[in-house]
Structure formats: structure tokens, C-alpha cells
Amino acid sequence: QVQLVESGGGLVQAGGSLRLSCAFSGRPFSKYIMGWFRQAPGKEREFVGRIYWTGARTDYADSVKGRFTIARNNAKNEVYLQMNSLRPEDTAVYYCAADPTYSGDAWREYDYWGQGTQVTVSS
């Protein structure tokens, strides 16, 4: 079955950068759209961005557009979230998720999830 494992979270100062990675296994990676979501304390899990099967297309939430970049390496079965110009409001647990078809921005519609990795941005 599909397994996802995030890594790369940590504590950074506002204005800093962090790169998250997600390792995928169990199924052909290139058959899946890969999404990134985050959940801050007391808030609903929200869409961050997604990358389509070949990596040719990406979508981003307005809150991160221009600061975050998603990439994938299908040869390594990995997807990445590069986060620049981090703000305290970016503090959250970040999750990668996988779905073979387009499912929109609702996290409940994704089939597979990682365990999450904590990102904390201090002011």
C-alpha cells in the first residue's frame, strides 16, 4: 500500500527558509498528484499547494504564492516543498498527501497521507 513520510521540519526565524521532503512508496509514484497541506493549532487543515503527475503544473494557495515552491523527482519517488520568506503565521504541522486523480483543495478527498512534520517560525 502507499506510504508517505515527511521530513525537514524544524524551528526557523521569520524571513528564513526551510525545505520539506516527502518520500513515497508502494505504488507507481508518477500516477499520483501530490499535495501539501498544513494545520495550525486550533485551525482547520488547509491546502498549501499541489503538483501534478509529471511536475509540469503546480497550484498554490494565495497565502503562500510567490514564497513556496513545490517540485517532484519521479526517479526518486520524492516531492518537496521549498518555503522561503517564512512568517510566524506559517507555523503548522505540514503534511504531504497523494491522490491518483484531481480532487480539489479539500484535504478529506486525498487518499493517502504522511504523518506530518512540525514547522515553527519565530518572530
The pLDDT, as a whole number, for residue 103 is 79
Using the CB atoms, write b or e for 18-54: b if 16+ within 10 Å.
bebbbbbeeeebeebbbbbbbeeeeeebebbbbbeee
Model pLDDT for residues 61-109, shown as the tens digit of each residue? 999 999 999 999 999 999 999 999 999 999 999 999 999 999 789 999 9
* Cell output for 32: 499520483
Q: Facing residues of 50 across strands?
A: 35, 59
The count of other CB atoms within 10 Å of the CB of residue 17 is: 11
In angstroms, the CA 80 to CA 70 distance is 6
The pLDDT, as a whole number, for residue 90 is 98
Model pLDDT for residues 9-67, shown as the tens digit of each residue? 999 999 999 999 999 999 999 999 999 999 999 999 999 999 999 999 999 999 999 99
